[in-house]
Amino acid sequence: MAIAREETKEIIGIPCPPWMSSMSDITTQVLCFFVMLFAFFGAKKMEQLERIEKKVEVMIKMEGIEEVKTKIEPEKGLVISLKEKILFETGKADLSDQAKTILDKMYPIFLKIPNTIIVEGHTDNVPIKTVQFPSNWELSTARATRVVRYLIEDKNFPKERISATGYGEYHPVVSNDTLERRAQNRRVDFVIEPLGEKQKTAADKLLLIGTKTLEE
C-alpha cells in the first residue's frame, strides 16, 4: 500500500508581523486620500484660474489689444503676457502712456483675487550695454520692477501679493532667429499663481513620507 507523503511548505524570508500589514493598509489608505485631495483641489485651482483668464480676455477684447496673450500653465499658473511695444520703448524701462492705461484696466481684476502675482521681465538675445543697463539682466529686472512699482505706488496694490523678477534672454517663448520672433520674446509676464501653494507643499511632503514608508 502506498504511503501518502505529507507536503512540506518552504517559507522564504521572515514572516511579516500582523501589525506591519495593518500599518501598510493604513498608509495605503492615507496615500489614496491625499491623491483624491490633490485631484479635488487641483480642479478647483484650475477653475479659479480659468475665471480670471476669462475676465482678462473680456478686457482685451473691449480694449482691442492684440499684444496681450493669456495661457494657463498647470505647474505655474495663469500667465498674462504683454509685448514690449505696448509697455516700453526699445532699450528703456519707462512705462508708456498706453502701458499705464492697460495696467489701470488690469488692476481691478488683480485686486479682486487673493492670488500672489509675479511680474517677470524678458528680453530677446540682442545684447545691450549701457551705463544704466549693462546687460539684459538689468533691463528685464528694471522693467518688471517698474511695473510693480506703478501698481504699488500709483494704484496702492498690496505689496505682499506682488513681486518682480528679471530673466534677461534666458526664458524665450520662441527662438530668436527672426525679427518677429525676437519681438515675441521681448515681453512682461504676469504670473498669477494657483491658490494654496503652501498647503500643497505641506501635503507633498506628507505624500513623500508615506511613499517612503511603503517602500521600506
Residue 66 has a pLDDT of 75
Interhelix angle for 18-63 vs 97-111, to 10°?
140
- pLDDT of 13 over the 70 cut: no
Per-residue burial over 11-32, b if 16 or more Cβ lie within 10 Å, else e, is eeeeeeeeeeeeeeeebeeebe
pLDDT digits (tens, 9 = 90+) for 87-133: 999 999 999 999 999 999 999 999 988 999 999 999 999 999 999 99
46 pLDDT band (50/70/90 cuts)? confident
Task: Look up cell 539684459; give the residue.
Answer: 136
d(CA 196, CA 27): 24
Residue 60 has a pLDDT of 80
- pLDDT of 81 over the 70 cut: yes
Residue type at 63?
E
Joined grid coordinates for residue 8 = 512540506
* CATH of the domain spanning 53-196: 3.30.1330.60
35 pLDDT band (50/70/90 cuts)? very low
Q: Is the pTM of this model over 0.75?
A: no
Sign of CA dihedral 125, 126, 131, 133: negative
Residue 211 has a pLDDT of 45
pLDDT digits (tens, 9 = 90+) for 153-200: 999 999 999 999 999 999 999 999 999 999 999 999 999 999 865 545
pLDDT digits (tens, 9 = 90+) for 16-32: 666 555 655 565 655 55
Residue 199 has a pLDDT of 41
CB-hemisphere CA count at 13 Å for 197? 11
